[in-house]
Amino acid sequence: MRLDREKMLTHCKDGDERVLLARALDRAEIVLRSGLTQVTDFYDPYHTGRIISTVRAVSGLTATPDGGCPGAERVRVAVHAAGIQPVVEDYDFGFISIKGNFKMTGVTHRDFLGSLLGLGLRREKFGDIFVVEEGARVVVAGEVTSYILANLNKVGRIHVSVTEITDEAFQPPEHAYKEIRATVASMRLDAVASAGFGTSRSKIVREIEADRFSVNWRVSPDPSTPVQEGDILSARGRGRLKVAEVKGPLKSGRIGILLKKFI
């Protein structure tokens, strides 16, 4: 089955994004022909949402994100037939531990990111990087795991040892977040996002209508999209919010919300 790519991508004006979505459609066509689940590289919440929305527009297909650990920001998207649940093996995750003597020198997420990119790898080949006391733990694409193990030996000026670990041993630290308590008139996307990101509702509406917002990794161009407890809101250039708690209506008639803004 051949997809009408021009029609499906007509809304996409950004060249790099068009290439990204065209690759997602390549995978969709493979699934339609073979029935075999396909998986993308790792992408941020915004681009993940764009991929999911594009794939779900194809009859008979759907898309499911997974980053290898709970609450992952960067995820791979499994493109598969509707009614078939992907299994963890479909995502082909690799989990690595990077250890070194960092006690006398401060290292950050950027240092580990730079060392991985310095191997000639594209950013899309690895997911979240978690900095821990002894170094870092990283989720990577299975196809580059061996290459990283063989070639990564320094982070900055510090010599490191790199080992592959199991998903059970990975145990990433919890994401840091800032709690935001607010009240809203309704649980619309524009109202909740305005409260969480501290920006005027009119500006948030413009960003939503420009396809810059996703709810649970799916682009939501409608400001009136309903939001509920447990949802993850992602905004290009702004970050992520989790709707942790919803209370109400209160005596004032408004709704109380507790948001967690990832930092």
Both 148 and 184 in one domain: the answer is no
pLDDT of residue 1: 60
pLDDT of residue 97: 96
Both 26 and 79 in one domain: the answer is yes
**Residue 79: domain span:** 5-86
Pick the last residue of a domain from 42, 65, 86: 86
- Residue stretches of the chain with pLDDT short of 70: 1, 13
Task: State in Å, rounded, how far the first CA of the chain is from the last one.
Answer: 43
Strand ranges in the chain using DSSP code E only, listed in sequence order = 38-43, 61-66, 75-81, 93-100, 126-132, 135-141, 154-155, 158-164, 177-184, 213-215, 218-219, 232-235, 239-247, 255-262
Both 154 and 198 in one domain: the answer is no
pLDDT of residue 219: 85
Pick the last residue of a domain from 86, 115, 136: 86
CATH code at 43? 3.30.1370.160
- 36-80 pLDDT per residue, tens: 999 999 999 889 988 998 999 999 999 999 999 988 889 999 999
pLDDT of residue 8: 76
CATH code at 230? 3.10.290.10
pLDDT of residue 218: 82
Q: Structurally, how many domains does the chain consist of?
A: 3
Give 20's contacts (C-beta < 8 A, 6+ positions apart).
43, 47, 50, 51
Pick the last residue of a domain from 86, 121, 143: 86
What whole-number distance in Å separates Cα of residue 34 and Cα of residue 89? 18
Encoding tokens for residue 200? 């005027």
**DSSP state for residue 176 in the 8-state scheme:** P
Nearest Cα to 245, choosing from 198, 187, 201, 200? 187
